Amino acid sequence: MKTGFRTLFFIAAVSAMMLSGCGKDGAQGPQGPAGQDATVYYSEWFSPTVWSGGSGDWYFAATAPDLTQNIVENGVVLAYCWLANDNYGGTSVRPLPAYAVNANWSFLIHQYGSIEFTSDMVSQPLTTANKFRFIAIPGTSHALKSATPGYRSEKELKSMSYKEICRLYNIPE
C-alpha cells in the first residue's frame, strides 16, 4: 500500500509542477537599447605628402571618417609612428606621443573625421620616409566594458605595445 501511495503522490507532484508552468505570461519588460557595432577601426600606414606649419610646429592632417564623435568621446584612439631616422634603425613602431629623432611627435583630433599628426622638429620632417597609423576602439567594444572578461581600461590600452594591441584586436601589422 505504501508503494501505491508513493506512486500516486509522485504523479500528483509531477503533474502539479507541469501545470504550474502553464498560465498567463508576465508583463513584457522594456526593450533594451539597440545593439551597437563594436568594430575596432584602424588605418593603413600612411605618409604625409606635405607638412604644414613651420620650425618647431609642423603638422599634417589626414582624413579619418571612422573617427566619429561617438568614438572620439566614448572610445579610445591610439596612434603610432614609424620614423625612418629613429635610433632603432627604423625597426620600431612608437606609440604617440613619443620623443624620437630629436623631436616630440604627437597627434590630435582637431575635428571629427580627421586626425592631425604633429612634430616640433626644427627643420621640416621627412615626408614619404615616415609612416603614421591610428587605431580607434569604440566605447561599445567588449574590451572597454568593465563588466566584460578581458576588460582593459584606457590607461592599460595605452601602456600596451603596438604588437600587443594588434594581437588583441586581430589587426594586421
Residues 130-158 have pLDDT tens digits of: 999 999 998 875 556 554 556 678 888 88
pLDDT tens digits, 84-112: 878 765 568 999 999 988 899 999 999 99
Q: Is residue 75 part of a domain?
A: yes
Provide the domain limits for residue 46: 41-168
Q: Is residue 30 part of a domain?
A: no
Q: Is residue 49 part of a domain?
A: yes
SS3 62: strand
Q: Is residue 14 part of a domain?
A: no
Q: Is residue 59 part of a domain?
A: yes
Comparing CA positions, the residue from 60, 68, 75 lying closest to residue 131 is: 60
Q: Is residue 63 part of a domain?
A: yes
Q: Is residue 60 part of a domain?
A: yes
Q: How many domains does the chain have?
A: 1
Phi and psi, residue 59, nearest 5°: -160, 160
Q: Which of 5-14, 70-79, 150-159 has the lowest mean pLDDT?
A: 5-14
